[in-house]
Copies of this chain bind each other. A is one copy, B any other.
Amino acid sequence: MIKTIHTIAFDGDDTLWHNESLYALTQEKFAQLLAPYHDAAWVDRKLYETEMRNMRLYGYGLKAFTLSMIETAIELTEGRIQGYEIQQIIDATKAIRQAKVALLDGVATAVAQLAETHRLMLITKGDLLDQEAKIAGSGLADFFADVEIVSDKTAVTYQTILDKYQIPAEQFLMVGNSLKSDVLPVVELGGIGVHIPYHITWEHETVGEQQQETAVYHALTHISQLPELVARLAG
Binding site for B on A (CB under 8 A): 57-59, 63-64, 66-67, 70-71, 73-74, 77-84, 86-87, 90, 94, 97-98, 127-129, 132, 149-151
Contact = CB atoms under 8 A, between A and B. Distances in A.
A63 B58 CA distance: 8
Contacts of A132: 151
Contacts of A78: 83
B73 A83 contact: yes
Nearest to A58: B63
Report how many copies the assembly holds: 2
A75 to B, nearest CB: 8
A77 to B, nearest CB: 6
30 contacts: A57-B94, A57-B97, A57-B98, A57-B129, A58-B63, A58-B129, A59-B128, A59-B129, A63-B63, A63-B64, A63-B67, A63-B127, A66-B67, A67-B67, A67-B90, A70-B90, A71-B87, A71-B90, A74-B84, A74-B87, A79-B82, A79-B83, A79-B84, A79-B87, A80-B83, A81-B83, A128-B128, A128-B150, A128-B151, A132-B151
A149 B127 CA distance: 12
A109 B16 CA distance: 46
A83 to B, nearest CB: 4
A158 B96 CA distance: 29
Contacts of A59: 127-129
A81 B79 CA distance: 10
Given A63-B67, A71-B90, A74-B86, 15 more contacts: A57-B94, A57-B97, A58-B63, A58-B129, A59-B128, A63-B127, A67-B90, A70-B90, A73-B83, A74-B87, A77-B83, A79-B83, A81-B83, A128-B149, A128-B150
Contacts of A98: 57
Contacts of A77: 83
A115 to B, nearest CB: 19
